[in-house]
Amino acid sequence: MTVIRIQGVGTALPEHVCDQAYVRRVVENLFGERVENLERLLKVFDHLHIEKRYFARDPEWYRKDRGFGEANDLFIETALKLSAKAAQEAIDIAGAAPEDFAGIVVASTTGVMTPSLEAHLVQDLGLPLQSVRLPLFGLGCAGGVAGLARAAELSSGRDGAPVLFVAVEICSATFQRNDLSKSNLIGTSIFGDGAAAVVVGRAESGPEILGSYHRLFPETYDIMGWDVIDSGMKVRFSRDIPNFVKTHLPMVLEEACSAWGITQDDIVSYITHPGGAKVLDSFAEVIRRDRRTLAASHEILRRYGNMSSASILFVLEHMLANGELEHGYGLMSALGPGFSSDQLLLHNQ
């Protein structure tokens, strides 16, 4: 069987960076007296686990009413720009020739495009026009793990030819200024914009991708997702995700390790989606490790917030750049709408 490895990782961010205090003031002025107990709810901005985030526009832009079309135009413009930048960086690091690529996988859930994003990227990056194209929509935060798994499978089926994977989310394009729900306020306090790309394929070095595992939880549609309304995508959060993690993830990890023929004790590195500080703490409890095990995830959350599918690839890049991916098995893990859990097993030489 062809050994598929991670050859290069690239990331990109929009130009507008804001600290939490500034975003909090904008939200406070915007919602004013329309939200009951606003002062209490605004405490979600006061936690130290997020210091700043990056947005496609200055926060003042989001004060005005924007229809779905205008918000989606913002997604298209920014997603194209950031995806191309992150992808070119990953390709350069991998040292891969554009004409050798066999396919491209793109994960995104914060906007819609037809023709889809990868059709543009194939041409903008000079990839072969016969490249296999796989757009992934609706996977949310889990898209970074699931998409990387699909890219590795595609490369394996093409004798290890390089495949490009891109995850891009313009979360700010989904902001609803007239949604007075707690879910919208939480989303406003945590989500940011960003893109990341990974080149996978046959190589002599780099973390090897060994296998993936997906688990869908029945009748959990209410936990996470979008409600599409006239003004765009309205965020849906329900139930207690940290407690859901503590209740259900032990079973998922046991099933995944059994399928791969290893034990959890064999895993030495964890590349975990930084969905939020409480979610990370719950994950650390599940794997029976202390907070330091997920230090890279906490660092990415602190510096960029939650960029949905792209975030875990920022964590991967950070760990590779700083030598934090130990020799042995590594587990990439993320949760997403469905409600679902995706795992990817790596082996670092």
Q: Assess whether 31 and 84 both reside in one domain.
A: yes
Which value, to the nearest 10 degrees, does the dihedral of the CA atoms of residues 271, 277, 278, 279 take?
A: -30
Q: Assess whether 184 and 38 both reside in one domain.
A: yes
Q: 252-282: b or e for each residue (b if 16 or more CB lie within 10 Å)?
A: bbeebbeebebeeeebebbbbbbbbbebbbb
222-231's contacts with Cβ under 8 Å and 24+ in sequence apart are: 223/337, 223/339, 224/140, 224/141, 224/335, 224/336, 224/337, 224/338, 224/339, 225/140, 225/337, 226/109, 226/174, 229/176, 230/67, 230/68, 231/65, 231/66, 231/67, 231/68, 231/71, 231/176, 231/178
Residue 221 per-residue DSSP state:
T
Confidence of residue 260 (pLDDT cuts 50, 70, 90): very high
Confidence of residue 25 (pLDDT cuts 50, 70, 90): confident
CATH of the domain at 315: 3.40.47.10
Q: Assess whether 223 and 335 both reside in one domain.
A: yes
Q: For the chain, what is the mean pLDDT?
A: 91
Look up the domain containing 309 and give its range: 208-348
Q: Assess whether 9 and 104 both reside in one domain.
A: yes
At which of 161, 180, 202 does a domain end? 202
Tokens read off for 74 = 């913002």
Q: What's the whole-model pTM score?
A: 0.94
Query: pLDDT of 262-289, one tens digit each?
Result: 999 999 999 999 988 889 999 999 999 9
At which of 179, 202, 225 does a domain end? 202
At which of 170, 202, 234 does a domain end? 202
| pLDDT for the residue 37 | 67
Q: Assess whether 194 and 264 both reside in one domain.
A: no
Q: Assess whether 225 and 92 both reside in one domain.
A: no
Q: Assess whether 142 and 249 both reside in one domain.
A: no
Catalytic residue among 18, 141, 171, 257: 141
Q: Assess whether 101 and 217 both reside in one domain.
A: no
Tokens read off for 315 = 């964590």
Helix (H) or strand (E) holding 123: helix 117-125
Decide if pLDDT at 62 tops 90: no
Is 171 among the catalytic positions?
A: no
Q: Assess whether 145 and 69 both reside in one domain.
A: yes
Tally of domains in the chain: 2
CA dist 296 and 291 (Å) reads 10
Q: Assess whether 179 and 118 both reside in one domain.
A: yes
Query: pLDDT of 301-319, one tens digit each?
Result: 999 999 999 999 999 999 9
Phi, psi of 137 (to 5 degrees): -130, 145
Q: Assess whether 178 and 279 both reside in one domain.
A: no
Q: Assess whether 124 and 264 both reside in one domain.
A: no
